[in-house]
């Protein structure tokens, strides 16, 4: 715990955000920092709750609650409050590979399960985590930690997102020689190109990758294993392979007018925007530039929010976000009790910026896109929508019904599909002949696939999920791979 009764003495306080009308003119991170004394007060709010659900990592009603990686949260909150920085870092790194990533982008299921949150605002766990790791980097404590001895075993990790990087770090710490293969031009996967710079500055990723290089991990970019590079060659050259390629098939929009220019998958749009930011020689085609355009985003969630923020920074004329789900309530519903993750209304950075610029929330709930209307030249003219209602059928399942007379035409020049992902790409699964589960993800038992010596982790294995869950799977897959290698 932190300070005795600190949760009664101090209110929850988060770092201020930069002014939304100023920050949409650049791509820098939006959050500022709290003074150290204020941050210590936030750590002091961690109460002696007896059973810290924040670190439980349990599943309730099919939804994870608490930290999936089981961080030792009360311990490092107490150490932060007392400014015992070395031990705080030690406790933090015992469980999590990259707290500088999760401290920026994790939706913090730990906070949703915080006992303090039953009757008052929860502890600022994510920000406390970020404070510890950033202090460690600033103080020069994050030095390379190469293994003292090498096992003589080699591992190829395919994919450099959170699961791949976590697996590579752990396998290297076990003493194996690790090479990470990434098909893109930069290391980081989802972290690099799926999350905009204003949420996760790419210098933060490069800083960690450089540290891993110094510890002995090798990285190869532009390596599309299973396509340009034969997959079987990895099994011949390496003692084991860990696949961590994510859930790469975006869910499509099957409506009239979808085919043709101007309708883009959000992942492609966000990727190109970041590539151009990092290298201005990478051109942005007019089709993928929101400047001066009416932008319609179909889908909510973090990806939809990131599209809103990116479109604003590109100078869009208007931006609207269509969601088929109802507007969440302001407070927990009776059907969503603590310690479940709170399904409450969250106005994220992108919506805040749109409200500041246009005077209204860009989100429109219970709205279904029926068609993309095009002019005689094939250019997008509008998106046609209808309002819907969710009705319980005789079988007890909720189904979507149209609301008569609710049709609306939204002026549009660009449509972004942000409807999530439906599974991993087929390339490596087919190359290795891997078994799939009912959702088309790679089937595995203790992260071991149906092909001996090939392991899988992250969204490729469990389906689209959180960065912290992918990181946890990478760490656990590394442990399973290490056990396999030591038995060879």
Query: Is residue 148, in this structure, part of any structural domain at all?
Result: no
CATH number of the CATH domain containing 311: 3.50.50.60
Domain boundary, last residue among 77, 106, 138: 138
Q: What is the pLDDT along the chain (488 residues), one digit of tens a residue?
A: 668 889 999 999 999 999 999 999 999 999 999 999 999 999 999 988 889 999 999 888 887 789 999 999 999 999 999 999 999 999 999 999 999 999 999 999 999 999 999 999 999 999 999 999 999 999 999 999 999 999 999 999 999 999 999 999 999 999 999 999 999 999 999 999 999 999 999 999 999 999 999 999 999 999 999 988 899 999 999 999 999 999 999 999 999 999 999 999 999 999 999 999 999 999 999 999 999 999 999 998 999 999 999 999 999 999 999 999 999 999 999 999 999 999 999 999 999 999 999 999 999 999 999 999 999 999 999 999 999 999 998 898 999 999 999 999 999 999 999 999 999 999 999 999 999 999 999 999 999 999 999 999 999 999 999 999 999 999 999 999 999 999 97
If 0-12 CB within 10 Å is exposed, 13-18 middle and 19+ buried, where does residue 208 land? buried
What SS3 state is found at 352?
helix
CA–CA dist 52, 398 (Å, integer): 35
CA angle 333, 336, 340 (to 5 degrees): 145
Domain boundary, last residue among 138, 172, 203: 138
CA–CA dist 77, 92 (Å, integer): 10
Q: Are residues 66 and 193 in the same domain?
A: no
Q: Are residues 327 and 220 in the same domain?
A: no
Q: Are residues 329 and 389 in the same domain?
A: yes
Q: Are residues 49 and 113 in the same domain?
A: yes
What's the confidence (pLDDT) of residue 59?
Answer: 85
What's the confidence (pLDDT) of residue 48?
Answer: 81
If 0-12 CB within 10 Å is exposed, 13-18 middle and 19+ buried, where does residue 376 land? exposed
8 Å CB contact between 315 and 36? no
Query: Is residue 1, in this structure, part of any structural domain at all?
Result: no
Q: Are residues 97 and 123 in the same domain?
A: yes
What's the confidence (pLDDT) of residue 13?
Answer: 97
CA–CA dist 475, 164 (Å, integer): 9
Phi, psi torsion values for 37, nearest 5 degrees: -60, -40
What's the confidence (pLDDT) of residue 436?
Answer: 96
Query: Is residue 329, in this structure, part of any structural domain at all?
Result: yes
Q: Are residues 401 and 429 in the same domain?
A: no
Find where tokens 């203790």 sit.
446
Q: Are residues 176 and 54 in the same domain?
A: no
8 Å CB contact between 291 and 315? yes
Cα dist. 42→7, 36, 46, 375, 485 in Å?
Answer: 8, 10, 8, 56, 44
Domain boundary, last residue among 106, 138, 170: 138
HEC readout, 398-414: EEEEECCCCCEEEECCE
Query: Is residue 94, in this structure, part of any structural domain at all?
Result: yes
Query: Is residue 145, in this structure, part of any structural domain at all?
Result: no
Cα dist. 250→194, 253, 274, 372, 380 in Å?
Answer: 12, 10, 19, 18, 21
CATH number of the CATH domain containing 93: 1.10.1060.10
Q: Are residues 173 and 217 in the same domain?
A: yes
Domain count of the fold of the chain: 3
If 0-12 CB within 10 Å is exposed, 13-18 middle and 19+ buried, where does residue 487 land? exposed
What's the confidence (pLDDT) of residue 372?
Answer: 98
What's the confidence (pLDDT) of residue 2?
Answer: 67
Q: Are residues 40 and 94 in the same domain?
A: yes
Query: Is residue 108, in this structure, part of any structural domain at all?
Result: yes
- Entry pTM: 0.96
What SS3 state is found at 79?
helix
Query: Is residue 149, in this structure, part of any structural domain at all?
Result: no
What's the confidence (pLDDT) of residue 208?
Answer: 98
CA–CA dist 44, 21 (Å, integer): 34
Q: Are residues 346 and 434 in the same domain?
A: no
8 Å CB contact between 159 and 243? yes
What's the confidence (pLDDT) of residue 61?
Answer: 84
What SS3 state is found at 364?
strand
CA–CA dist 116, 204 (Å, integer): 31
- End-to-end, the C-alpha distance of the chain in Å comes to 44
Cα dist. 157→8, 12, 221 in Å?
Answer: 47, 41, 12
CA–CA dist 364, 38 (Å, integer): 37
Range of the domain at 430: 154-248+422-486
Q: Are residues 41 and 127 in the same domain?
A: yes
Q: Are residues 404 and 441 in the same domain?
A: no
């Amino acid at each position: 715990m932190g300070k005795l009764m600190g949760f009664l003495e101090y209110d929850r306080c988060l770092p201020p955000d930069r002014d939304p009308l100023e920050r949409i003119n650049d791509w820098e991170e939006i959050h500022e920092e709290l003074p150290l004394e204020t941050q210590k007060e936030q750590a002091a709010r961690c109460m002696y709750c007896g059973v810290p659900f924040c670190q439980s990592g349990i599943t309730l009603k099919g939804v994870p609650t608490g930290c999936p990686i089981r961080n030792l949260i009360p311990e490092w909150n107490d150490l932060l409050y007392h400014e015992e920085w070395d031990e705080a870092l030690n406790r933090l790194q015992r469980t999590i590979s990259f707290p500088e990533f999760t401290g920026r982008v994790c939706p913090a299921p730990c906070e949703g399960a915080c006992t303090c949150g039953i009757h008052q605002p929860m502890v600022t766990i994510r920000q406390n985590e970020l404070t510890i790791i950033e202090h460690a980097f600033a103080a020069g404590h994050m030095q390379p930690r190469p293994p003292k001895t090498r096992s003589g075993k080699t591992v190829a990790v395919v994919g450099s997102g959170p699961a791949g990087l976590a697996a590579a770090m752990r396998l290297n710490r076990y003493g194996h020689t690790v090479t990470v293969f990434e098909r893109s031009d930069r290391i980081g996967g989802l972290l690099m190109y799926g999350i905009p710079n204003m949420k996760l500055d790419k210098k933060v990723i490069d800083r960690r990758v450089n540290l891993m290089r110094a510890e002995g991990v090798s990285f190869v970019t532009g390596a599309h294993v299973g396509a340009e590079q034969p997959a079987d060659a990895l099994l011949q050259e390496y003692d084991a392979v860990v696949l961590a390629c994510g859930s790469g098939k975006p869910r499509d929009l099957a409506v009239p007018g979808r085919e043709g220019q101007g309708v883009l998958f959000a992942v492609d749009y966000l990727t190109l925007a970041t590539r151009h930011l990092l290298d201005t020689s990478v051109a942005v085609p007019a089709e993928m530039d929101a400047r001066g355009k009416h932008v319609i985003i179909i889908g909510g969630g973090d990806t939809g929010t990131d599209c809103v923020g990116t479109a604003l920074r590109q100078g869009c004329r208007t931006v609207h976000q269509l969601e088929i789900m109802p507007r969440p309530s302001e407070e927990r519903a009776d059907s969503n009790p603590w310690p479940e993750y709170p399904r409450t209304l969250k106005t994220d950075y992108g919506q805040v910026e749109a409200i500041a610029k246009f005077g209204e929330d860009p989100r429109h709930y219970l709205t279904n896109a029926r068609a993309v209307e095009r002019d005689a030249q094939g250019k997008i003219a509008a998106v046609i929508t209808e309002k819907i209602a969710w009705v319980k059928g005789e079988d007890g399942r909720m189904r979507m019904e149209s609301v008569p007379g609710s049709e609306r035409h939204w002026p549009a020049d660009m449509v972004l599909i942000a409807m999530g992902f439906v599974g991993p790409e087929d390339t490596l699964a087919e190359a290795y002949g891997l078994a799939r589960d009912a959702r088309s993800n790679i089937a595995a038992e203790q992260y071991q696939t149906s092909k001996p010596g090939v392991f899988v982790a992250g969204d490729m294995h469990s389906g689209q999920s959180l960065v912290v869950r992918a990181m946890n799977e990478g760490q656990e897959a590394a442990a399973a791979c290490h056990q396999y290698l030591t038995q060879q």
